A and B are shown apart, each in its own frame.
Chain A
Amino acid sequence: MHEMSLAESILQIVEDAAAKQGFKRVSEVRLEIGALAGVEPEALAFCLDVVFRGSVAAGARVELERLPGQGFCLDCGETVPVMARYDACPKCGGYQVQATGGTEMRVKDLLVE
């Protein structure tokens, strides 16, 4: 969803950092995207390629680290692995699972010159 907006936000974060720290070129952008963040990695990579053109990050490699999904099942009272946001609890089959990990969308670090 809305990967183009996210790509533009990522470029903005990169350009803000470039203005503050005075680097001229970014060769790699490392992102952390949780499995439950609702982001399609391929669509995001496609949008970033377009958005980065003509910027300090033109041609930069994009490393996308997927963080695993995790939830707390209210019925079981424990943390369980979650593949997709609204899946049933793998232990009890109930739907009272609140996402506790894997919703992150962060720019982690950059390799710059």
Chain B
Amino acid sequence: MRRLRFSPVASRFCGCIALALLLIGSFRVETARAELRIDITRGQVEPIPIAIAPFTGSDVGTSDVGRDIADVVSADLERSGLFRPISRGAFIQQPETIEEAGPRFADWRAINAQALVSGSVERQPDGRLQAKFRLWDVFAEQQMTGLAYFTQPANWRRVAHIIADAIYKRITGEDGYFDSRIVYVSESGPAQRRVKRLAIMDQDGANHQYLTDGSYLVLTPRFSPTLQEITYLSYDQGAPRVHVLNIDTKQREVLGQFPGMTFAPRFAPDGQSVIMSMSRDGNSDIYSMDLRTRALRRLTNHPGIDTSPSYSPDGSQIVFNSDRGGSQQLYVMNANGGDVRRISYGDGRYATPVWSPRGDLIAFTKLLQGRFAIGVMRPDGSGERILSESYHEEGPTWAPNGRVLMFFRQTPSDSRGTSRSGLYSVDVTGSNLREVPTPAGASDPAWSPLSP
């Protein structure tokens, strides 16, 4: 299903989703007992049993959409590891009667639901759909939130993700991340002649599409924080150079013609410039390029390998990795290149630092005793925690809420020389490690900001 939101018309329309959002009044308000809430900073919390009723519809078409929306909401919440959706076969109260008369809370307590989601889908005279949902606290017997959205029928999946985000936010107090996408490198063929293509999909794997045809090597895509653009490394002109690709128009362009390799690109938080490494006579240093003027600014000047730069979310600082001290370690500098200080001091080598969108943590790849790990540390280098470890894993990327990371993992070659590469996600607490299904092998994931 093609998304319509990328054309100018669709963009305006998408604005309508938010504009038409209505707060729905409660059926009843009662004195509150302790409110249903998950503290996601603690890690390994017991998932909350939640009943997600199929959204009711006024005809066959809207009933089908209603069931599909409930399925997507349920899958989003389940994958977060914070919720355990209850099988619909166990439901006692019929969904239609919730919409008419409110929940019979005793029926939902009887099946151990702590939270209940109900909703409806109605077709509007102009052809749009109105999707409404309510989140209920079963033990307090009260509505926690209720919202309505208007959308074109083709956009129903996005509405489902927005509803899942609203439920996540109401119960955890944190912004959700379900209405977002992943760009990554799809891999196929033998390792010596691996075919790599840029691919993009919703964070739940839906709406998968390829952005390049595999006729040239592509690596390390990253989203613009502000536009439907991706910066990545491409060999399409024979030599490895940083490119920018517009997701809607598929237009791509090389960022500057330099004698040396340009690589490791990443957008600045304002989307106005790209930071990257450039090699001159074998020495890699970090540069930033203004995307409007194409002016290039050198930020490091050191004979060591300086690469994998990433801005802090306020744009004031840059974390990068360098072997200037003898082995790969993480360094932070001011955005103008000044005041360089090393932050990683543990055993092993550190690489691919990425600043959290919340600003509180830096994720990294760690190489220790022949194995690879994904971890996080505070921007001053303290509080290092390893979240995942295996033969080879690399390249963490943050969910827009800064609570979940995605990375890729590669198995060692088997006796026939075959190794498999795939995407994984893990909570920032180190719990809820999950494989992210992709049609073929996968590496270099990058999470988008929340969709506009």
- Is this pair of chains taken from one and the same complex? no
